[in-house]
Structure formats: C-alpha cells, structure tokens
C-alpha cells in the first residue's frame, strides 16, 4: 500500500511540474497580446481611437469620401475633374460657362414648352429649379465658423508667448504661400478635393502600415528638432513674447 501511495504522489508531483510552466507560458502569452494591443492603440495616428468612418462624420459625406457608394463617389470626382479641366486646361472663364449654362437652360425650357404644345392640346408644365435658402445659410454659417476658428487660433499663437509654436505656424504659413506661388487657387482646391477622395480610403485600407511609417518619420523629425532645440532654440531668451491669450 505504501508503495502504491508513493507512486500516486510521484505521479501527482510530475503532473504539477509539467503544468506549471504551461500556465506561465499561457499567462505570458496573454500579457504579450494585451501589451501589443495597447501599443497598437497608442501608436494610432494622432492618438485616435475611433475608426476613420466616425472621424469623417459617419454620414453621407463619409460614405462619399470612403467610397461606400462607388457610383456617387466616382461621379463626384469626375465632375470636379471636368470642372478643373475646363478652367485650367481649356482656359474657360467662370462667367462664360455660367452664362452659357443659363442660355442652354432657357433654350431647353423654351423648347420643352413649345414642342409639348404642338403635340398636346394643353402644354405641359415646365419644371422649375429652386434652390432652398437654408442651403446658402448653412454654407455661410459653416464658412464663417471655420474662418473665425482659424483667426482665433492664429491670434492665440501670436499672443500666447510660445516661441516654438509661433515659429512652427509661421513656417507652415510660409510653406503654404510658397505652394500658392507655384499653383493657382483652383489647382490647389482641386488637389485638396482629390486628396480628400483618395487619402481617407487608402488610409482605411492600409492604416497599420501608414501609422508605423508616419511614426518613424515623426521620430526622425523629433530627433532633428531636439538637436535644433539644444543647439539654438534653448539659447533664445524667454519672456519677450509673453502675453495673454485672446478670448
């Protein structure tokens, strides 16, 4: 009996010894998975936590920008391309196209009314095009809010006393002015429109690769900026640009 009991105890001890490292490896596996998931969340571009679809508003505009409805997205981009080609390559003028479009619209309505009167006893009603006034009000309010936010930000930077932020904003504005000297406003607007219809959908498809590449570039810029700060910016006396932020 004592020998059988010793054998049973030895079997139990061997079973425990074999299972202990397995439990440790399983726990370490879950710890690694948790840390890796945390790192991926922390290394998202600009620290975002929501999907790209929700960042773009999650409505019809996000559907168009992310090509949820390919027909609408393709027609929108094709229309913008046609307008850019007419003005930029074919050298059409806005007033010329506007008045030509109005003349064509009047001719279509005139022919509609008279031709329908020849074939029918009573002429059919011509459809009227009426733009809602709320459309212009919403556009004006949205543009006004964006302009006020931009002006408020620039004034806060210029009067905030943060020299580094001030230099970054001035360099960004100078770079934008340099781009504006190379291209006209219509080309810049069209380039932004094309970027809005291509970059979000590409980023949604390859967001992991883009995030890692962008963070590598940011790391290189941060190293260069630290060298510039240690060699030049830190030696600039502070306090000369101190002031209160504008409300």
Cα angle 236-160-239, degrees, rounded to a multiple of 5? 35
Spatial contact of 196 and 94, defined as CB atoms under 8 Å apart: no
Q: What DSSP string describes 196-210?
A: HHHHHHHHHHSHHHH
pTM of the model: 0.56
- The pLDDT assigned to 21 comes to 43
Structure tokens at 190: 């069209």
The region that residue 168 occupies, defined by phi over 0 for left and psi between -120 and 50 for alpha, beta otherwise, is alpha
What residues in the chain have per-residue pLDDT under 50? 2, 5, 19-42, 240-247
Considering only the C-alpha atoms of the chain, give the largest distance between any 2 of them, rounded to a whole number of Å: 118
**Residue 65 has what pLDDT?**
86
pLDDT value of residue 216? 84
Q: Looking at residue 55, what is its pLDDT?
A: 76
Token pair for 22 = 């397995």
pLDDT score for 127: 76
pLDDT of residue 57: 72
pLDDT of residue 89: 86
Could you report the per-residue pLDDT of 95-124, keeping only the tens digit for each? 888 899 899 989 988 888 887 767 665 666
Exposure class string for 72-109: b at 16+ Cβ within 10 A, else e:
ebeeebeeeeebbeebeeeeeeeeeeeeeeeeeeeeee
């Amino acid at each position: 009996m004592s020998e059988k009991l010793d054998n049973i105890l030895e079997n139990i001890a061997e079973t425990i010894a074999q299972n202990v490292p397995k439990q440790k490896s399983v726990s370490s596996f879950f710890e690694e998975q948790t840390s890796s998931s945390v790192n991926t969340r922390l290394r998202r571009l600009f620290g975002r936590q929501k999907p790209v679809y929700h960042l773009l508003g999650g409505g019809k505009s996000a559907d168009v920008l992310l090509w949820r409805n390919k027909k609408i997205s393709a027609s929108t981009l094709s229309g913008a391309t046609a307008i850019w080609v007419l003005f930029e390559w074919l050298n059409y003028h806005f007033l010329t196209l506007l008045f030509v479009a109005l003349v064509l619209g009047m001719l279509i309505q005139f022919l509609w009314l008279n031709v329908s009167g020849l074939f029918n006893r009573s002429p059919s009603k011509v459809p009227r095009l009426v733009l809602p006034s709320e459309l212009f009000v919403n556009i004006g309010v949205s543009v006004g809010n964006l302009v006020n936010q931009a002006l408020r930000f620039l004034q806060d930077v210029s009067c905030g006393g943060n020299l580094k932020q001030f230099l970054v904003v001035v360099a960004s504005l100078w770079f934008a002015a340099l781009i504006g000297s190379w291209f006209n406003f219509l080309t810049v607007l069209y380039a932004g429109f094309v970027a809005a219809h291509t970059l979000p959908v590409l980023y949604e498809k390859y967001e992991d690769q883009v995030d890692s590449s962008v963070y590598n570039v940011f790391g290189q810029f941060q190293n260069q900026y630290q060298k510039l700060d240690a060699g030049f910016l830190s030696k600039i006396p502070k306090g000369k640009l101190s002031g209160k932020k504008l409300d």
